[in-house]
Structure 1
Amino acid sequence: MQTATWQAKELTPGQLAQRAGVSVSALHFYEREGLITARRTSGNQRRYPRETLRRVAFIRISQRVGIPLAEIRHALDNLPDGRTPTRRDWEALSTAWQADLDERIEQLIRLRDNLTGCIGCGCLSLGTCKLVNAHDHLGDQGPGARVLDVHPVEACHQPEQACAIASAETS
């Protein structure tokens, strides 16, 4: 594969993928999702503006910290003229995402500290589930783990004593 020179204004999918550290199929996925754009040559080959490198880096970092693609797309769509995010843009977005990221961190810490004892749905805690989830009250809230939610007591419909047990186990 031919490596792009630093002054190249456009990159082929292979060149962009190599420089950005992603697969070509990831670039095609980002394009289908409306996160990046390419022009087509007369031979119908994709060419990406060089600035797409920074845009892909922004997408990858956002994904790495757990930001959903829909939120990343929304953030990119709100930039003037669909331009590549600048340092100032990243600072504004990271500030806006701070509370959500703090909540995710809290959730991960809770999960790490309590994973071996209970994941909240009973499959690993059948011996203690009757105390924490009497009469399967957590099941009324829908599928999946509930005990390790960030705000388990707020969402708890159990008797007060059982909520206290669930809260104590998750803190």
Structure 2
Amino acid sequence: MKPAEELLTIGEVAERAGFATSAIRFYDKEGLVVAVRTSGNQRRYPRSALRRLAFIRAAQNVGVPLAEIREALAELPDTRTPTKADWARLSRHWRARLDAQIEGLTALRDNLDSCIGCGCLSLQRCALYNPGDVAGTRGPGAQRLPKVIREPHHS
């Protein structure tokens, strides 16, 4: 860890990273950022925590679940600031997710005007919610919902 004068208080990290101190405490508890404790038991963070928090924010903005963010950050060194190569390696894994989101948003944009006010409510014809009637090939009913087996109720 860095000498004390190079460490930041939780308030300084919060202000610079744009997170609430409670969020930083949560990420600390989850092991996503690492603090050292002073003799007075106060948290102090290395400047590298700012980059880790920026990475967390960027990943959350594209819908990456916290579990995946945790896995990615576990690959980074705690003892040095992550490099551009570190970030490039991690973000490569999320490229396909972003491409799919872009494709979905493009389809939504391109087909939205035909849906507003059309009133079709047809899952068979709707190009947005059921392209090619894929859900219809699985049979009738709500195919995406899990089937619940209920035990007979005895009074």
* TM-score > 0.5, shorter chain as reference: yes
Q: Deviations over 1:52-82 (max 9, x none)?
A: 1111122122222332222111111123457
Determine if contact 2:48/2:82 at 8 Å carries over to the other structure.
no
Amino acid at match of 2:16: R
| Pairs aligned (count) | 134
Partner of residue 142, structure 1: none
Q: How do 1:1-80 and structure 2 match up within 5 A?
A: 8-80=5-77
Provide TM-score, normalisation by structure 1.
0.64
Q: Equivalents in 1 of 2:131, 2:16: separation in Å? A: 43
> RMSD over aligned Cα, in angstroms?
3.0
Provide TM-score, normalisation by structure 2.
0.69
Q: Equivalents in 2 of 1:79, 1:8: separation in Å? A: 24
Partner of residue 157, structure 1: 135
Distance 1:32 1:114, change over 3 A: farther
Q: Equivalents in 1 of 2:131, 2:30: separation in Å? A: 34
Q: Equivalents in 1 of 2:18, 2:110: separation in Å? A: 33
Q: Which residue of the other structure, out of 90, 93, 99, is the alignment partner of 1:93?
A: 90
Distance 1:62 1:85, change over 3 A: farther
Q: Equivalents in 2 of 1:26, 1:88: separation in Å? A: 27
Q: Equivalents in 2 of 1:44, 1:24: separation in Å? A: 16
Determine if contact 2:72/2:90 at 8 Å carries over to the other structure.
yes
Distance 1:46 1:15, change over 3 A: same
In structure 1, the residue corresponding to 2:45 is in which secondary structure?
strand
In structure 2, the residue corresponding to 1:133 is in which secondary structure?
coil
Q: Single out whichever of 41-50 and 11-20 deviates more from structure 2.
A: 41-50
Partner of residue 120, structure 2: 128
Distance 1:64 1:84, change over 3 A: farther
In structure 1, the residue corresponding to 2:93 is in which secondary structure?
helix
Structure 2, unpaired ranges of 5+: 138-155
Determine if contact 1:10/1:50 at 8 Å carries over to the other structure.
yes
Which 4+ residue blocks in structure 1 deviate beyond 6 angstroms?
Answer: none
Partner of residue 109, structure 2: 112
